[in-house]
């Protein structure tokens, strides 16, 4: 566009770059449009659908448990017994069996697939040519991935609480690390556990997002984040590493158990939250730095 075709009344910044009249970078790629776009994708529907389906599968599995299996682990059997003693306990069990792997995969999927999939389809360069500023594109995609990850956690816990309460009743929360808690307080403890898990999973979110802007292979970004999380978990079990383990992103991943104890133990929870936020901020910062400087050809 020639300088003479620019609206004389446009702001100086617009006139200086010769942008089209009415163009505002902040108005490109609205959050709602990207949210709806991701909602129409099959992987989003399947991931959220499985969050609803998993508690129902566990509930059905419990109905076929005759209680006569003497070969099972006593510790796991006691957890199953606790899970069927009330809706809150069933929710806690569902979170417990999902936290170590399933939730990691789901969060890695939402963040690792978001940019890499655009590159693999060849649509990323067209988004930038709209033009959508690179920093805004990453910001919107990051916020949408955060929204869907939070929705996945809420769907898992909400479905488990509803199904468990309908089946087993509204009973006090029991666990192996605390005294019995009244339903009201037990619900607050569960919400605190869910909130802490959301913070811990920010590490996976940051790592997957960084890999997503680094590679054009969505599967590589998702799988890489999951594998690195598993590697960190394995290293955390090696006591010979000593104090080094405290710097691993998974070291405080089970600190949420302290939120169920009596009295509540928050020291590791605070350390874990600081560690997770620090790692996530570092990874997201690197992702923005990398993406705003890379040559996008796909």
Task: With respect to residue 23, please indicate whether it lies within any of the assigned structural domains.
Answer: no
Task: With respect to residue 278, please indicate whether it lies within any of the assigned structural domains.
Answer: yes
The residue written with tokens 């790692």 in the block is 279
3-class secondary structure, 179: strand
Task: With respect to residue 20, please indicate whether it lies within any of the assigned structural domains.
Answer: no
User: In which domain, by residue range, is 216 found?
Assistant: 34-65+91-291
Are 151 and 106 in contact by the 8 Å Cβ rule? The answer is: no
**Separation CA 247–CA 172 (nearest Å):** 36
Task: Output phi, psi for 171, to 5 deg.
Answer: -115, 165
Long-range own/partner contacts, residues 34-42 (CB < 8 A, 24 or more apart): 34/140, 34/141, 34/144, 35/144, 35/147, 38/114, 38/144, 38/148
Residues lower than pLDDT 70 in the chain: 1-28, 65-79, 120-130, 177-178, 294-298
Count how many domains the chain has.
1
Q: What is the pLDDT of residue 16?
A: 42
Task: With respect to residue 28, please indicate whether it lies within any of the assigned structural domains.
Answer: no
Task: With respect to residue 70, please indicate whether it lies within any of the assigned structural domains.
Answer: no
Q: What is the pLDDT of residue 143?
A: 95
Q: What is the pLDDT of residue 115?
A: 83
Q: What is the pLDDT of residues 214-238, one digit of tens each?
A: 888 888 999 999 999 999 999 999 9
Task: With respect to residue 24, please indicate whether it lies within any of the assigned structural domains.
Answer: no
Neighbouring residues of 65: CB distance < 8 A, sequence distance ≥ 6: 80
Task: With respect to residue 17, please indicate whether it lies within any of the assigned structural domains.
Answer: no
The helix (run of H) or strand (run of E) holding residue 264 is none
**Separation CA 91–CA 110 (nearest Å):** 23
Task: With respect to residue 16, please indicate whether it lies within any of the assigned structural domains.
Answer: no
For the record, the structure tokens of 106 come out as 């789901």
Q: What is the pLDDT of residue 15?
A: 42
Q: What is the pLDDT of residue 6?
A: 39
């Amino acid at each position: 566009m020639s300088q003479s075709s620019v609206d004389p009344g446009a702001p100086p910044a617009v006139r200086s770059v010769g942008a089209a009249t009415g163009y505002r970078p902040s108005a490109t790629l609205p959050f709602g449009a990207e949210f709806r776009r991701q909602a129409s994708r099959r992987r989003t529907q399947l991931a959220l659908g499985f969050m609803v389906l998993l508690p129902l599968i566990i509930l059905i599995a419990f109905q076929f448990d005759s209680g006569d299996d003497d070969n099972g682990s006593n510790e796991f059997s006691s957890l199953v017994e606790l899970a069927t003693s009330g809706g809150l306990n069933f929710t806690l069990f569902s979170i417990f069996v999902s936290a170590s792997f399933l939730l990691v995969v789901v969060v890695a999927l939402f963040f690792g697939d978001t940019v890499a999939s655009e590159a693999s389809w060849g649509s990323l360069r067209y988004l930038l040519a709209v033009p959508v500023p690179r920093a805004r594109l990453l910001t919107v995609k990051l916020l949408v991935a955060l929204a869907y990850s939070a929705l996945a956690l809420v769907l898992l816990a909400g479905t488990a609480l509803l199904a468990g309460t309908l089946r087993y009743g509204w009973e006090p929360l029991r666990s192996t690390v605390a005294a019995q808690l009244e339903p009201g307080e037990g619900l607050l403890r569960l919400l605190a556990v869910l909130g802490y898990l959301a913070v811990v999973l920010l590490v996976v979110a940051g790592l997957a997002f960084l890999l997503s802007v680094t590679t054009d292979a969505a599967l590589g970004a998702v799988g890489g984040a999951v594998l690195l999380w598993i590697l960190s978990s394995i290293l955390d079990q090696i006591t010979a590493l000593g104090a080094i383990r405290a710097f691993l992103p998974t070291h405080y991943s089970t600190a949420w158990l302290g939120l169920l104890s009596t009295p509540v133990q928050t020291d590791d929870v605070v350390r874990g939250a600081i560690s997770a936020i620090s790692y996530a901020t570092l990874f997201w910062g690197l992702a923005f730095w990398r993406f705003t400087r890379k040559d996008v050809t796909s």
